[in-house]
Amino acid sequence: MEQPTYRLGCDIGGTFTDFVLVNNITGEFHTNKCLTTPSDPSNAIEQGIRELDEILPGFMDNVEEIIHGTTLVINAIIERKGARTALITTKGFRDILELGREKRYDAYDIFSEYPEPIVPRSDRAEIDERLAFDGRILKSVDEREVINLLEKFKKDGIESIAVCFINSYENFVNEKQVKEIIEKHAPELFLSTSFEVLPEIKEYERSCTTAVNAYVKPITYWYLNKLINRLGTIGFNGKLFIMLSSGGITSIETAKNFPVRIIESGPTAAVIASQYYGKMFNIADMFCFDMGGTTAKSCLIQDGRAGLVSTFEVGRVQRFQKGSGLPIQVPVVDLMEIGAGGGSIAKISNLGLLQVGPESAGADPGPACYKQGGDNPTVTDADLVLGYLDPDFFLGGTMALDIELSKRAIDEKIAKPLGTTMVEAAFGIHDLINETMASAAKTHIAEKGGNPNIVTVSAFGGAGPVHTYGLAKKIGAGSILVPPLAGVGSALGFFTAPVAFDLSRSHRKVLDDADFKEIELLFNELEHESAKILEGAQSGDSIIYERTLLMRFVGQGAEIDLKIEIKDFTKFSKNEIRTMFDDEYKRLYGRTSAESPVEFVTFKVRASLPKKPFKISKLSTRNHDIKACIKGQRPAFSIIKKDYIPFTVYDRSTLFAHAEVEGPAIIEERESTIVLGEDTKARVDEFGFIWVQIIPSGGPDQPGGANND
């Protein structure tokens, strides 16, 4: 018998760390879930792997790859627990991190706050160098000036340095010289240069992104080294990959050099899995909904593709106010993230109203029902009181919940202050978090030009399948898809992502004056650089390149993305490029200005390796009795009748192909629980996906009644 080989997906979330182990030969899955250890995330990784080893003794010897997603980087930025960092910039630009775009995110709030720069002014230094806008050297670097700065940095206890000169995206000769000086005279310091991290236009975003990369580089380096050593002690000899914010996976060395690229490492994986399933079932519009213990993430997938954006913000002072956070200009899947998870804390606001989140109880102490000392009521406590969760089957029965602690926390901190019953307070928590997520979802879908009434909502995360039914009803969606292993969907999603990396370079040229041969050479350089980054990730694979143009009208401040299919840019005519631009501009904004000149701003390349085979085994097609899948009944709260009614409880592991389930029902598996109201019908397909149809009050043939057959 052939010796099995494995791939292991490991996703560290704010509350739980998820594991999915796949047998490369049979496609069989094994899963695990354990509480995250915030003080040292590698503790939870080792614990989870050792628990898997009890099921499959010695499996680590045959693990070829571990694909890892982590919240380490974003947490370090939000909590300001990175390294002490210095910024070296061009004379006159020391205050760029504070000046920003010189725009107020709220024009009418004279007391509006802004995030503290990642590098304080005392650790920012200037040198007397200068490049012109087109890359011409106006003043070269004085080596002695740089050496003097390094001596000062060492005395001040600086651990990491960011280098960002004005206009260096057009010519990095001065930055490269400073890099060589630092490597020679201070090799012990970590270093990030903007020409390597982000050679793009816009000084503020480039400076901030480079500074953030430098800020988290030491902790990422030490964490990944520790993780590699720790995995080695438990028998791992394969390759370790890290999930990128852009939806690809990359080598450990690349993650060490560009940790800013893994800020949204974990949340992205569920979107990539949802995109994979959308293509698998030919679903045009899918809304990925991933609700874990700390946050809820969502993304609209249109025409089988999740959108990518080039800029996002972290550490917002005002959670929903664009412009109140630190701008990070790296490719990231266009997802929306809000503080709404199973651990979101419910409290009474200063106005005397119920408020849920964004604060979370996290993994320690966690919700009140976890019996770890937490006394704040959370969404999980409310779900338990409402009957949606079985206190004796949480995590497959490995973690018992205490419903009396949940009742006490909700009663004392919510029900009594509001003058209502404990059950009404519990439903208020559940319904309010659904309303919060639905409002954000409708806004996100509308911004992308989508229609919530026609999307299929795909549920992921430990809390996602519990809340998806309520969310879908609020946004008007009629179809829900719950994939196999939805509770560990991000860890499973790692297997659907390719090894990939995105590179870009700004080079402004008006279309009419552009030399297409020069542009082709620029694309070739980017492809060569990306090939070097992918080197050694997977041997024997040919690289797939995707090219993108960022263009705008001359004088505009924002660009639009144009994906180009022809691999030789010299084969295009200027008229063809102009037509592509006008067509896309009209699609986005309804009109264009054919008389106005346009310009190239940035050129992008995504290099990826062919995806490894990924398959989900089919369920048995033999006839079964649905009654054999029933675990029993329990009272749970109906959001339609606003009272407890009997829900039939099913064991998902026993459901068979073509099985049909009618609501009200609860379908339990080890990693998550699916809640279905009395106005639903569900069927199981041959791969174990559960397709749910919400029947509108007018019947299945009325608007909103989806049909997935």
Residues in the chain: 709
Answer whether residue 538 shows pLDDT above 60.
no
Domain 6-76+222-262: give its CATH superfamily. ATPase, nucleotide binding domain (3.30.420.40)
pLDDT in tens, 94-153: 999 988 888 887 888 877 888 889 999 999 999 999 999 989 999 999 999 999 999 999
- The CATH number of the structural domain formed by 81-215 is 3.40.1360
pLDDT band at 216 (very low <50, low <70, confident <90, very high): very high
- Give pLDDT, residue 703: 38
Residue 203 Cα distances to 39, 326, 375, angstroms? 35, 14, 47
Which three-class secondary structure state does DSSP give residue 363? coil
Mean pLDDT of 27-43: 85
* Spatial separation of the C-alpha atoms in residues 532 and 139, rounded to whole Å: 31
In this predicted structure, the answer to whether residue 322 has a pLDDT above a threshold of 80 is no
Which H, E and C letters describe 630-675, residue by residue?
A: EEEEEEEEECCCCEEEEEEEEEHHHCCCCCEEECCEEEECCCCEEE
Q: Could you write out the three-class secondary structure of 571-607?
A: HCCHHHHHHHHHHHHHHHHCCCCCCCCEEEEEEEEEE
Q: What confidence tens digit (pLDDT) does each residue in 173-195 have?
A: 999 999 999 999 999 999 999 99
Residue type, 144: R
| Beta-bridge partner residues of 11 | 18, 69
Q: What is the mean pLDDT of residues 658-664?
A: 93
| Per-residue model confidence as pLDDT tens digits over 341-360 | 888 899 998 888 999 888 88
Q: What is the DSSP letter of 625?
A: -
3-class SS of residue 371: coil
What was the pLDDT predicted at 700?
Answer: 45
| CATH number at 500-608 | 3.30.1490
pLDDT tens-digit readout, 598-638: 999 999 999 988 877 777 878 876 667 889 899 999 999 99
Please choose, from the candidates 8, 488, 49, the residue with its C-alpha nearest in 3D space to the C-alpha of residue 292. Answer: 488
The token pair that represents 503 in the structure block: 């590179």
> Which of 324-328, 426-430, 599-603 has the lowest average pLDDT?
324-328
Give all strands (DSSP E) within 105-197, no chain letters.
124-127, 130-131, 137-139, 160-164, 190-193
Q: Is 194 helix (H, G, I), strand (E, B) or coil?
A: helix
In angstroms and rounded to an integer, the radius of gyration of the C-alpha atoms of the chain is 26
Rounded to an integer, the average pLDDT of 532-544 is 72
Q: Quick check: 458 pLDDT over 70?
A: yes
Report helix angle 422-447 to 464-475, nearest 10. 70
Contact between 636 and 673 under an 8 Å Cβ cutoff? The reply is no
The average confidence (pLDDT) of the chain is 89
User: Which tokens is 166 given?
Assistant: 């004005």
Domain boundaries, the chain: 6-76+222-262, 81-215, 500-608, 626-694
Largest CA distance in the chain: 82
Question: What element of type H or E holds 67?
Answer: strand 63-69
